[in-house]
Amino acid sequence: MKARVKVALIGFGNVGRHVALELGKLGATIVSVSSSRGSLVGVDPETVIGLARRGGKLHEHPRLVEGVDPVEAAVKAGAEVAMITIPPSYQTGEPNRSIYYRLIDEGVSIITADKTVLAKWYRDTMKRARSMGVYIGYRATVAAGIPAIDMARGLRGREVEEIEAVLNSTTNYLITLVKNGMDYQSAVEKAIEDQLAEPDPRVDTHGLDPAAKLAILASTLGYEASLEQVEREPLDKVLEDPEQVERLRSGEPLRYIAYAELGKGIYKVEPRWLPPSNPLAGVTGIYNGVLVRLEGEQVLLSGPVGPAWRTARVMVTDLLDYMEYRVS
């Protein structure tokens, strides 16, 4: 199947390069590509795919124009949809928010792996998108690889009471490494080496990443939630405590839990010792799990997340949805 859609890529890191490769398989037309260094407009998509295939940086392309704004590039190239894989900006929300809102105002739909804007301004962003008749796909923002957003959408209108979830594969991986005998700092270094953690892992270990995902899940369910409402307790204070580490190595399940009592507006991310009967106790390594309690029962979703190629494929799922949305 050939996807007759014009796509702008905003972000050309590990995930962005895999998105380019997936678009090549799908037959979509890449009309512009942007990174922090500049943009390509009107370039042969095959050269972009070739660059992605060999793991190249965008600035290696001879036709990169430095300083060209990504929204300007997308609009100039006639993009119908922008696929965004830029880093989060949780402190100020910029330039992410400006990029999203300018794209929406130009009538360009958005498919994103970036959590920033939806974690901080979900309702405002969706209202703006509806007013302009554009699509926003964001499956890849929460536990990419398992259909967490689809589950949340499918439970809207139900009496959902609580969310208890392991939403950050980096911290789950760190817990597993420490449990298996590694000290915390060595575990962090290995997670960075394995490309499961950023050079500054505090985005994960201080709870910003899982808090953003929790806010997006709750917002998808129809609740007023934002990143700023989520209380966060760091994981490292547990994994650097010899007594707590001994407790972990004795077999007691520790997980970095994102938790919400939706009716009460309680949102938090914290290390928790779980009873073995809790289904999340079995979620280890690079797996994530979402446990939803509703109507006297519970629904569990669990599976692998990442690496970059899987996130890219989840974004393609959104692109297929966009194509149906456009036709309808």
Domain ranges of the chain: 6-144+308-327, 148-303
Task: Please answer whether residues 161 and 262 qualify as being in contact, where contact means their C-beta atoms are separated by less than 8 angstroms.
Answer: yes
**What's the distance, CA 123 to chain centroid?**
18
- Does domain 148-303 fall under CATH 3.40.50.150? My reply is no
Angle (nearest 5°) at CA 296 between 293 and 298 = 35
Q: What is the pLDDT of residues 2-53, one digit of tens each?
A: 678 999 999 999 999 999 999 999 999 999 999 999 999 988 889 999 999 9
Query: d(Cα 233, Cα 142) in Å, to the nearest integer?
Result: 20
Q: Assign domain 6-144+308-327 to a CATH class.
A: alpha beta
According to DSSP, the residues that pair with 271 across neighbouring strands are 256
CA angle 108, 318, 160 (to 5 degrees): 110
What percent of the chain shows pLDDT beyond 70? 98
The whole-number pLDDT of residue 327 equals 57
Banded pLDDT at 1 (limits 50, 70, 90)? low
Amino acid 77: pLDDT: 96
Q: In what order do the strands lie in the sheet with 65-66?
A: 65-66, 38-41, 29-35, 6-10, 81-84, 109-112, 136-137
**What is residue 328's predicted lDDT score, i.e. its pLDDT?**
53
Question: Tokens for 138?
Answer: 């964001």
Q: Against a cut of 0.85, is the pTM above it?
A: yes
CA angle, corner 20, sides to 16 and 25, nearest 5? 145
